[in-house]
Structure 1
Amino acid sequence: MYDDAFLTRLETQLRAALPRWGLASEAPLRLLTISENATFLAEGSAGAPLIFRVNRPHYHTSEEVLSELAWIRSLRAEGVADTPEPLPMTNGELLGGFDDDGQWRNVVAFSFMSGAEPQPGENLPRWFRILGAITARLHEHSRRWKRPQRFARKLWDYEAMVGSRPLWGDWRDGLGLEPDGRAVIERATQVLKVKTAAYGEAPERFGLVHADLRLANLLVDGDRLGVIDFDDCGMSWFMYDFAAAVSFMEHEPFIPELQAAWLEGYRTVAPISAEDEAIMPSLLLLRRILLTAWVATRSETPTAQAMGPAYTDGTVALAERYLVAEG
């Protein structure tokens, strides 16, 4: 999808829409990232940058995007987390868009947040301790927040991840997946189905979560850890937020250290039961299998291209290790 010609067309159309946010159509504009969506940075008239997210078509409805923005605004209003502000158009509406060759693309704008993505290394456990506390505050807010009418976000349960209605595609289409590896993952998914069903979806365990707190969606500036990109927020297990936080590095030997730091930070804000902690390895593998499907169905994105078949091989190895550990 995201070849050079397409991106040029997307930029041209976004430029034409900039005046709706009070910017000149010739304002400096550059592509920042391509993942699920295309994200651009524009220079504001007063020198303050704005971030524009051009959504992938046929993924989120307008209602779902507005629901995401409603949660962000509530989190900001209550000081739950440092996250960019959704910025309205000159008409006061938060959701804009344009027609892209017959496909409608939703567009939202956010204030710019400074910082850099935390990198694996000796400081990462420190940031995961802070992230654990932030995640606990997000979960506390989620449990007590009165959602607006027509609130709609996707359901990230077993069936939506690896089962009968996969939102990101069938994991069996994983790049380079061989029959032996498929059989291993198949056995693992059956164990995951039993484990997640036994854990259940009671309100204290399952609710509105960020669902994508990976390193690319965190911004470090001094002692501040900012959280961005609520595009995948939805209903899932609260402990799934840790699994998402270690996305694309689930196989690394330092993951247990990150989990311990995250749990320590979380418990400074809210309790975690033994059952909550016990389900974490299952949710980590569930996320890994989900991402294996994502890499295959989003193969045009730089993130997916960096993973390739090697990521699928790693998923098989993790599934094998999981099956041994679970007996």
Structure 2
Amino acid sequence: MMMKLSTMLKVASTVDTEWRSPLAEKILERWGYDEGSVYAFRYSANFIFICKRNKQTYFLRFNEESEKNVEALEEEMKLLNTLAGLSLPIAKPVASLTGKEVEAVETEYGTYYASVFEALPGKQYEIAELELHQFVKWGSALGKLHESMKKLDGISLVNRKTWRDHLHEVEQILSNQEIAAKKELQILISWAENLPVTKDNFGIVHYDFELDNLRWEGDQIGMLDFDDCSCYWYVADIAFALRDLDEKNMTNANFVNFIKGYKTKTSLDDQLLEQLPMFQRVHNITMFAKLLRSVDIQDASEHPEWMTDLRGKLVKKIDDLRKSFE
């Protein structure tokens, strides 16, 4: 989920021209870090800072307490450790100096939930850079993850959101003026309520298995950013991962090879696969609501240029999605 722009602006104001932040350094005191090694890396759903400890590279992830649920974060750490124990190439969490994998840190800028992760080796690709055989590997990696998820009977789902939670949140965010979006939401709720749910087709999904959350080292694909993992149909994860392929591409060689790779690792409900466009519509309506929530500041001359540009892009995306519902 994209954080509120007001939250992003507040933390970004602590970052200097050399990408250093006293706020990030204060949070990292819970883990310890090499002096002068902490730099801002990315702001989106979370604040991400790169850092070193004993010359090893790590990533700090944190967000304001209002943006996250601490029990869900702790459940995520439990899931990551379990998956790592199954020999999946996961960005593993690192315990703080007090042995915690999620720390609540009070600062002058507010209270933040923070975690630190090992850095994954490898390269990040854009979708246009991938060759056909890499679509097979990408699909295979997701299939292997899902097959592992199906075996996690001991992992509680209590603190993971479900598709129902997500669509209920959309309902809470949409104003009465969003007539087309509200109509689309009701169509999607009715559709989802009639889908079959079995142990083999429904469970914990990554939710954002896009290329920017993967690191490629040869044929091995490392996985990161599990904080949005939720309870859905496994096919939804395919739709969300491939959302940069538009519908007319769903019969092309890239898509076919992704599915080919996926099926080498786990089973796939082909009837649910035919519902891929509907799952993409679920993603669109949830993204629309998240963006409405995120853009909580007005355009203003005192904002830094990067914030003005970002806000403009998000507003355009909101308008494009709104039109798609009509």
Q: TM-score band (shorter)?
A: 0.7 to 0.9
1:195 equivalenced with 2:199 (yes/no):
no
Alignment counterpart, residue 46 of structure 2, candidates 34, 37, 43: 37
**TM-superposed deviation, 1:232:** 0.4
**TM-superposed deviation, 1:270:** 1.7
Which structure 2 segments of 5+ residues have no match? 1-6, 298-305
**TM-superposed deviation, 1:230:** 0.4
**Counterparts of residues 231-270 of structure 1 (less than 5 Å):** 231-247=227-243, 249=244, 251=246, 253-257=248-252, 258-270=254-266
Aligned partner letter, 2:271: E
**Counterparts of residues 98-177 of structure 1 (less than 5 Å):** 98-101=105-108, 103-121=110-128, 123=130, 125-148=132-155, 152-157=158-163, 159-162=164-167, 164-166=168-170, 170=173
Aligned partner letter, 1:204: D
Q: Distance in 1 between matches of 2:280 and 2:38?
A: 37
Q: Distance in 1 between matches of 2:226 and 2:217?
A: 19
Alignment counterpart, residue 315 of structure 1, candidates 313, 321, 324: 321
**TM-superposed deviation, 1:195:** 2.1
**Counterparts of residues 195-214 of structure 1 (less than 5 Å):** 195-214=191-210
Deviations 1:74-109 (A, max 9, x none): 1111113x2212111223222223113474211111
Q: Distance in 2 between matches of 1:278 and 1:38?
A: 36
Aligned partner letter, 1:262: F
Q: What SS is found at the alignment partner of 1:243?
A: helix
Q: Is the 8 A contact 1:98 1:105 kept in 2?
A: yes
Aligned partner letter, 1:154: R
Taking structure 1 as reference, are residues 220 and 17 closer, same or farther at Cα in structure 2, changes over 3 Å only? same
Q: What SS is found at the alignment partner of 1:147?
A: coil
Quick one: percent identity of the two aligned structures?
A: 18
Q: How many residues align?
A: 305
Q: Is the 8 A contact 1:215 1:246 kept in 2?
A: no
Q: Distance in 2 between matches of 1:285 and 1:131?
A: 22
Which structure 1 segments of 5+ residues have no match? 174-178, 321-327
**TM-superposed deviation, 1:7:** 4.3
TM-score by length of 1: 0.80
Alignment counterpart, residue 81 of structure 2, candidates 73, 84, 88: 73
Taking structure 1 as reference, are residues 171 and 110 closer, same or farther at Cα in structure 2, changes over 3 Å only? same
Q: What SS is found at the alignment partner of 2:268?
A: coil
Q: Is the 8 A contact 2:201 2:269 kept in 1?
A: no
Taking structure 1 as reference, are residues 306 and 110 closer, same or farther at Cα in structure 2, changes over 3 Å only? farther
Taking structure 1 as reference, are residues 244 and 76 closer, same or farther at Cα in structure 2, changes over 3 Å only? same
Q: Distance in 2 between matches of 1:97 and 1:11?
A: 18
Cα root mean square deviation, aligned: 3.0
Taking structure 1 as reference, are residues 232 and 51 closer, same or farther at Cα in structure 2, changes over 3 Å only? same
Alignment counterpart, residue 52 of structure 1, candidates 51, 60, 71: 60
Taking structure 1 as reference, are residues 172 and 226 closer, same or farther at Cα in structure 2, changes over 3 Å only? farther
Q: What SS is found at the alignment partner of 2:127?
A: coil
**TM-superposed deviation, 1:120:** 2.5
TM-score by length of 2: 0.81
Q: What SS is found at the alignment partner of 2:148?
A: helix
